[in-house]
Amino acid sequence: MKIPESTKRSLHLTLVERQRDRWPGLHDVRVRYRGSFAYVDGILHDGEALPLCRLRYGGDAAFFGFAIYRASHDDYEDSVLPDGSFDATPDEALDCACALYLGDFAGWPTN
């Protein structure tokens, strides 16, 4: 199922807002789309792109299937969030991936 343009716009805005609020180690967030997938990269302050995660659209703009980027294999693997769920809000996905790849659990939500 292809991601609608309206969902692409809202997804990008949501991720950028979360990055600005919680992840100062990133300069920006870039999202690339292919079919039902959204690939999320963090842009570091030196301009380097850091692959973070992949979101799978299933028809609901609020929840996406979550896959973490595996640098060791240069691929994405479906993953479970810390709360045990397989579906994530865009905020939850970004928080999980950033905590892991930036090694900064201070930005991890406590509620």
DSSP secondary structure letters along 32-79: EEETTEEEEEEEETTS-EEEEEEEEE-S-TT-EEEEEEETTTTEEEE-
Give the pLDDT confidence score for residue 16 in this predicted structure. Answer: 97
Q: CB under 8 Å to 40, separation ≥6 — which residues? A: 15, 29, 30, 31, 51, 52, 53, 54, 55, 93, 94, 97
**Domain limits at 55?**
5-107
Give the pLDDT confidence score for residue 104 in this predicted structure. Answer: 74
Please list the ranges in the chain whose pLDDT falls under 70: 105-111
How many domains are there within the chain?
A: 1
Rounded Cα distance between 93 and 63, Å, is 10
* pTM reported for the whole predicted model: 0.92
Give the pLDDT confidence score for residue 82 in this predicted structure. Answer: 85
